[in-house]
Structure 1
Amino acid sequence: MPKDPVQAATPEAIALARDLLALPHAALAVTDPADGTPAISRIALGLSPDGPVTLISSLSAHHAALQADPACALLLGEPAAKGDPLTHPRLMLKARAEFVAPDDPARPALRDHWLQTHPKAKLYIDFADFAFVRLHPVSALLNAGFGKAHRLSADDLK
């Protein structure tokens, strides 16, 4: 049986994964409820005290997809302008989406926290079609460069 090339989490891998989670945007993968095929969108991302969160419009395709199936995945990390993009760190995060109800008592604090890191959202954050979505990590795979892949648990990302 071949050796698994993916290593267990290390303190360095966990720190890098947490840094990537702090990026202001990510690619979100969902399952299209209309035909069951994968779909992907770029989303704004933030870290609340409870973990990753996004703010999305009910007009977006990924809103309907997450309502139908909360299982999703995020890709975080950006290649530099030069060099091989596959050598730059990236994190694939499997998650479960949870919509925050408009009357949720935590929403005002979440709103204030979001605006600290996404000030331009002030233009639309209170529109009726926008909702916060908590993205609860299930597991992650960190690729920190050639030969530096690590499996991380939800607990590693807290």
Structure 2
Amino acid sequence: MTDPYQTADAETRAQARALIDTARHAALAVLKPGSLTPSISRIALATDAQGMPISLISSLAAHTAALETTPACALLIGEPDGKGDPLTNPRLTLHCTARQVLRGTSEHDTLRARYLALRPKAGLYADFGDFRFVRFVVTDGLLNAGFGRAVRLSAKDLAA
């Protein structure tokens, strides 16, 4: 069997970047603490100043406990357009390591300002004690750009 993945080129790198830059939410895949059972939740998503994914998550959420135990995770971004076969729409899987950002740090303050500029409604809960920012450090990605167009992307390919 031949490798079904194509090499990234300027067009597919741009398509992947557009998916990241325009995503308002993502499906977050984690491992349940103490098991190999996967779990998926929808999270709000934005980007930091370098164009990498960030989110504001509650410590009360099961996915937060999972990320604290096992920071390796995956994000799926891209939504069907509502017409035809949803599998023909582009989508991007990002393999990541989640890194919690501590309150009271300049990094937190910078992410808070950027996140609220991009997601102003999050101002309703951003300062609740159980919410924190998480930065997703991307290791690689898989772009499904439509039927027969699967592309492997390195972290460098995905850089803004």
TM-score by length of 2: 0.95
Question: Is residue 2:42 matched to residue 1:42?
Answer: yes
Report runs of 4+ in structure 1 exceeding 4 Å deviation. none
Contact 2:49 2:114 in 1 (8 A): no
Question: Could you list the per-position Cα deviations for residues 31-86 of structure 1 after superposition, in whole angstroms to 9, with x for gaps in the alignment?
Answer: 00043300000000111024110100000000000000000001000011110011
Unaligned stretches of 5+ residues in structure 1: none
Give the letter for the 1:17 counterpart: A
Give the letter for the 1:109 counterpart: T
Unaligned stretches of 5+ residues in structure 2: none
Cα distance in 1, alignment partners of residues 40 and 105 from structure 2:
28
In the alignment, which residue of structure 1 is the partner of 2:6? 7
Q: Provide the secondary structure at the position in 2 that maps to 1:120.
A: helix
* Cα distance change on mapping 1:5 and 1:36 into 2, 3 Å: closer
How many residues are paired up? Answer: 157
Q: Which has the higher mean CA deviation after the structures are superposed, 101-110 or 70-79?
A: 101-110
TM superposition shift of 1:148:
0.9
In the alignment, which residue of structure 1 is the partner of 2:58? 57
Percentage of pairs with the same residue: 54
Give the letter for the 1:33 counterpart: P
Question: Could you list the per-position Cα deviations for residues 7-45 of structure 1 after superposition, in whole angstroms to 9, with x for gaps in the alignment?
Answer: 011111100101111211000000000433000000001
In the alignment, which residue of structure 2 is the partner of 1:25? 25
TM-score by length of 1: 0.96
